[in-house]
């Protein structure tokens, strides 16, 4: 089976498009706010460097050498026990699950583009009640926008790697960089900027709890799209003579750069107008619209381009969440791409509706199990358990199972002397970090 190949820039933009998503612009600022700022950012940055980069490269290597869907790639590269290792590739189910709520959130963003253009809420309480109203009563509105997200993503997937995914990223990613960069430059001149800088980069260690430590590690995985085969599947289409090391560095740098720029920009606006940084998931949907309102017509303009950028970030990540499953069905079951894309699309569409309804006042009760509703359960199980577990499997696979000579023959020429440092961190640091996080989550290890 011949797999289409990205161009070199196409690959970097597609992988960066996968990594830079709602995680960077929606989630990172609010979890930074909730977890007290600087100390949390510090732990997150260390994790990205020490664990994130190592696992990203491992995941790229599996795709690049395997050249197939994630299941087949694992199977082919395992020196023994192929039948067992192929299950490593099934972690791509996580992407499909994430997509069920991711598509709903992209829907909210579409709705907010319209809100930003027409009428911004005039205060934080007004913004809060508008957001809560949309969640609890606006089932139809959400359904319409969730349907649009489903249609766009499925249409891109149907067109495949070159005509769909590469083209989408070549257009949307530069626009996203321009918008975030431009808004950052504007924020740089506001008084709130120095406060935002202090909030994000001056660690107050006492604010760091063991939970925020675990959140930071989980988020590092989520934001880099690691542990579920997105990067792996894209890497199967890498051009032949690519430098994996350089590509991984570029993707990690772009992802981290955008998260930091977006965070600084958002907190500047919030501090400038006296809003709270710890508002939680509603941060960009509640505090920010109210702040933009204060800025008058310029605020409407900023709000519109901000939500457009957020939609772009979301869409480029969304296609990468489900492409692994699509590729799997094409490779293993010889399904035509159209059929595979539509099947996968319909799955996340319908399960997404359950996620959407679980926030509503009418069906919320019915769809709440224990401490969380359906929507939050999926978020928790995927981001906190499945991705770290997938990352652990990849680290062990490349670090301990694949022949060292094979790994070395590809990466040593690209790394030079630093190969040993990477290999060590993949073999020991990443697994220990990931196991610690998982044990803590299960309540077995407390610190």
Point out which residues bind ligand PHE (CB under 6 A): 18-19, 21-24, 95, 98, 222-223, 225, 228, 230, 317, 320-321
CB closer to ligand PHE out of 98 and 351: 98
For ligand PHE, which is the closer residue by CB, 192 or 227? Answer: 227
**Full 3-state SS string of 138-156:** CHHHHHHHHHHHHHHHHHH
Query: How far from the centroid of its chain's Cα atoms is residue 358's Cα?
Result: 22
Tell the smallest beta-carbon distance from residue 295 to ligand PHE (Å): 27
CA 216 and chain centroid, separation? 13
Give least dist CB 362 to ligand PHE, A. Answer: 29
Cα 172 from chain centroid (whole Å): 16
Q: Phi, psi (5° rounding) for residue 35?
A: -100, 20
Per DSSP, the three-state class of 372 is strand
CA 222 to chain centre: 5
Question: In this complex, which beta carbon is closest to ligand PHE, that of residue 57 or of residue 98?
Answer: 98
In the complex, minimum distance from the CB of residue 17 to ligand PHE, in angstroms, rounded to a whole number: 9
Strand partners, 386: none
Report helix, strand or coil for 373.
strand
The least distance separating ligand PHE from the CB of residue 75, rounded to whole angstroms, comes to 21
Which CA distances in Å does 404 have to 29, 56, 88, 247, 361?
39, 18, 19, 21, 55
Min CB(315)–ligand PHE separation in Å: 11
Name the residue nearer to ligand PHE (CB basis): 21 or 399.
21
- Cβ–Cβ < 8 Å for 224, 52: yes
Residues 6+ apart with CB under 8 A from 197: 264
Q: Which residue is nearest to ligand PHE (CB)?
A: 23
Residue whose CB is less far from ligand PHE, 233 or 425? 233
Pick the closer one to ligand PHE by CB: 18 or 142: 18
Cα torsion 53, 57, 60, 62 to 10°: value is -130
Shortest reach from residue 139's CB to ligand PHE, in Å = 24
Q: Which is nearer to ligand PHE, 70 or 317 (CB)?
A: 317
The residues, ordered by sequence, that sit 6+ positions from 282 with a Cβ below 8 Å of its Cβ are: 30, 128, 131
Choice between 56 and 61, CB closer to ligand PHE = 56
Residue ranges in 162-276 assigned as alpha helix (H):
167-188, 192-201, 210-223, 230-235, 244-272
Residue 377: CB minimum distance to ligand PHE, A: 17
Q: How far apart are CA 29 and CA 281, in angstroms?
A: 9
Shortest CB 226 distance to ligand PHE, Å: 7
């Amino acid at each position: 089976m011949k797999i289409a190949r990205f161009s070199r820039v196409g690959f970097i933009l597609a992988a960066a498009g996968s990594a830079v998503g709602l995680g960077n612009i929606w989630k990172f600022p609010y979890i930074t706010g909730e977890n007290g700022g600087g100390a949390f950012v510090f732990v997150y940055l260390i994790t990205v460097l020490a664990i994130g980069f190592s696992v990203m490269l491992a995941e790229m290597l599996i795709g690049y050498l395997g050249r197939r869907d994630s299941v087949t790639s694992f199977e082919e590269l395992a020196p023994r026990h192929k039948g067992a290792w192929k299950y490593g590739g099934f972690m791509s189910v996580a992407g499909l699950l994430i997509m069920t709520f991711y598509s709903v959130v992209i829907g909210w963003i579409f709705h907010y583009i319209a809100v930003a253009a027409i009428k911004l809420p005039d205060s934080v309480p007004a913004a809060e009640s508008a957001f809560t109203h949309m969640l609890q009563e606006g089932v139809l509105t959400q359904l319409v926008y969730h349907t649009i997200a489903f249609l766009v993503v499925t249409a891109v997937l149907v067109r495949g790697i070159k005509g769909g995914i590469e083209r989408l990223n070549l257009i949307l990613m530069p626009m996203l960089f321009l918008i975030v960069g431009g808004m950052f430059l504007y924020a740089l001149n506001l008084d709130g900027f120095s406060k935002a800088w202090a909030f994000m980069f001056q660690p107050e260690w006492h604010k760091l709890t063991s939970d925020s430590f675990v959140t930071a590690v989980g988020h590092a995985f989520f934001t880099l799209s690691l542990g579920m085969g997105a990067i792996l599947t894209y890497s199967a289409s890498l051009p032949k003579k690519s430098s994996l090391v350089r590509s991984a560095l570029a993707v990690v740098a772009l992802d981290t750069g955008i998260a930091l720029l977006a965070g600084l920009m958002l907190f500047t606006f919030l501090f400038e107008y006296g809003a709270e940084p710890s508002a939680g998931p509603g941060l960009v949907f509640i505090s920010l619209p109210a702040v933009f309102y204060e800025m008058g017509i310029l605020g409407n303009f900023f709000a519109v381009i901000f939500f457009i950028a957020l939609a772009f970030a979301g869409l480029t990540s969304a296609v990468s969440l489900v492409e692994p499953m699509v590729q799997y069905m094409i490779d293993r079951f010889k399904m035509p791409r159209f059929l595979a894309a539509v099947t996968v699309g319909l799955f996340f569409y319908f399960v997404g509706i359950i996620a959407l309804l679980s926030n509503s006042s009418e069906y919320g009760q019915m769809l709440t199990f224990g401490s969380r509703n359906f929507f939050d359960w999926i978020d928790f199980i995927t981001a906190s358990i499945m991705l770290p577990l997938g990352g652990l499997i990849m680290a062990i696979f490349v670090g301990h199972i694949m022949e060292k000579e094979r790994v070395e023959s590809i990466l040593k020429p690209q790394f030079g002397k630093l190969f040993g440092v990477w290999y060590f961190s993949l073999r020991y640091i990443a697994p220990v970090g990931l196991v610690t996080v998982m044990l803590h989550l299960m309540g077995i290890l407390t610190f």
